[in-house]
Amino acid sequence: MPEITQEMRDEVKGIVYNFFADECEVDKESINSETKVIEDLEGDSLMFLELLEIFKKKYNITVGVESIGKYIMKHPAETVGKIVDLILLIIEHGEKISEIG
Amino acid sequence: MERSIISEWELHGNIGVLTINNPPQNYLEGFKLAHLPDLKRWTEGDALKGMIIVGKGRHFCAGFNKEDLYKTGDEKVLLEELRKSNEILYHLEALQIPVVAAVTGVCLGGGLELALSWHIRVCSDKALFSFPETGIGIIPGLNGTVRLPGKIGLCRSLEMVLAGNVIHADEAMALGLVDYVVPSKEVLEFSLRLLDRMTTGRSTNIIRSIMKSINNSSKLSFNAATEEETGLFAGLVLARTKVMPENGKSG
């Protein structure tokens, strides 16, 4: 289980913010942790799948969409900040994310 | 621009562009892309030399909507719906013009089955492909397991469908799942240029003969396909001999 460092947090946040700025064609400065992906950025649920694949490749993570789905059912991630937190949890726990209460 | 179910149709010169317009996920509605009679009408006639299918917005198509899938309930109705969907795929696959799937964003399940049934697949460098059906206890239902091995081989097909792996554009290219990978914003333009390069200066007769012969290579035995090609070749030679007798004599 990798330890999440501040450097990692900053890197994940940077990648997530850049992704949404690029894909939703908005200024990165206009995004903050409270920005809602669907309402504010006109994004969609499939964008998380795209983001997840970026991080799976980058951190060599093995995790099934079903495991993440189980966690998201209990903890919806609607804002950019919550998505950053979710990615960090996935990096930290991998497949075991579904066991988090 | 004309519309049928979730499809919109417009012409760019001799190239038809069908847009799957059900954003953001571009789910198939009731398993279908368009009404078959509308598709037949759009794709008939000698003027059309190629066709591109693209998704509206960020994604190509996320396949079936899970809610649609389970609400049918009745086996006969479900089988009939799937039969109609297959008829659409067969119609587009059998068209005697090149059909390009121009894939951006996510291409999942039924969306990937659509893309597999057409002749050429162009995708963006960020495109993702997957058959997620096993994750919800079903299997691909629009020829996905039948067409996939012909593109990426038996072993990788088993892995992709059973594990529900997500395949990136670069891996899709290496596997032979797609034919071209281009930057995200250039997918439609590249596809138009590709078809333009293939068909400009080529008569409808030539395009149809080539499409027919190439389609025969996977549908008929080698001997039958060769016989058909010989017939097509002879027909074109004789047609040119009649138009240009001097060329005919000089061979």
Q: Which long-range contacts (CB under 8 A, 24 or more apart) does B210-216 make?
A: B211/B95, B211/B96, B211/B97, B211/B98, B211/B119, B212/B96, B215/B93, B215/B94, B215/B96
Each residue of B205-243: pLDDT tens digit? 999 999 999 999 988 999 999 999 999 999 999 988 877
User: Does any domain span residue A28?
Assistant: yes
Percent with pLDDT over 90 in chain B: 76
CATH number at residue A68: 1.10.1200.10
Provide the pLDDT confidence category of residue B166 given band limits of 50, 70 and 90: very high
The boundaries of the domain holding residue A53 are: 6-99
Pick the CATH number of B2-199 from 3.30.43.10, 3.90.226.10, 3.30.750.24, 3.40.50.970: 3.90.226.10
Rounded to 10 deg, the angle between the A80-93 and A46-59 helix axes is 40
Amino acid at A93: H
To test the contact with chain A by mutation, choose from B126, B138, B184 the residue with the greatest count of A C-beta atoms within 10 A, namely B126
Per-domain residue ranges of chain B? 2-199, 204-250
pLDDT at B199: 95
Give the DSSP H/E element, type plus range, for residue B99. strand B99-103
What's the rounded mean pLDDT across residues A63-91?
A: 90
CB contact under 8 A, B166 and A57: no
- Cis previous bond, B140, omega within 30: no
pLDDT at B213: 94
Whether pLDDT at B31 is above 90: no
pLDDT at B98: 97
User: Does any domain span residue A95?
Assistant: yes
Residues of chain B found within 8 Å of residue A44, distances taken between Cβ atoms: 23-25, 58-59
What is the torsional sign of CA B180, B142, B136, B65? positive
CB contact under 8 A, A46 and B58: yes
How many Cβ atoms are within 10 Å of A17's Cβ, its own excluded?
A: 18
Amino acid at B40: K
Global pTM value = 0.88
Min Cα distance B126 → chain A (Å) is 8
Residue B16 sits at the chain A interface (C-beta within 8 Å): no
Residues of chain B found within 8 Å of residue A57, distances taken between Cβ atoms: 168
B154 φ/ψ angles, rounded to the nearest 5 degrees: -65, -50
A-B interface: how many C-beta pairs under 8 angstroms?
35
CB contact under 8 A, B58 and A64: no
User: Does any domain span residue A17?
Assistant: yes
Tally of structural domains, chain A: 1
CB contact under 8 A, B25 and A46: yes
Provide the pLDDT confidence category of residue B247 given band limits of 50, 70 and 90: low
Pairwise CA distance, residues B207 & B211, whole Å: 6
User: Does any domain span residue A1?
Assistant: no
Instruction: Between A71 and B67, name the one with better pLDDT.
Output: A71
Secondary structure class of B25 (helix, strand, coil): coil
CB contact under 8 A, B135 and A66: yes
Each residue of B79-101: pLDDT tens digit? 888 898 899 999 998 999 999 99
Residue B25 sits at the chain A interface (C-beta within 8 Å): yes
User: Does any domain span residue A18?
Assistant: yes
Contact B62, B106 (CB under 8 A): yes
C-alpha separations of A83 from B77, B127, B138, B145 in Å: 40, 21, 29, 34
CB contact under 8 A, B168 and A53: yes
B9 φ/ψ angles, rounded to the nearest 5 degrees: -125, 130
What torsion, rounded to 10 degrees, do the Cα atoms B65, B103, B137, B144 define?
120
Any idea which of A19-23, B66-70, B190-194 has the lowest mean pLDDT?
Answer: B66-70
Q: Which residues 20-79 of chain A have a CB within 8 Å of chain B?
A: 23, 43-47, 49-50, 53, 57, 64-66
Option in A46, A53, A64 nearest B59 (CB) = A46
Each residue of B84-143: pLDDT tens digit? 889 999 999 899 999 999 999 999 999 999 999 999 999 999 999 999 999 888 999 999
Each residue of A19-73: pLDDT tens digit? 999 999 999 999 999 999 999 999 998 999 999 999 998 999 988 888 888 888 8
Instruction: Between B122 and B33, name the one with better pLDDT.
Output: B122
Looking at the annotation, which residues of B are catalytic? 113, 133
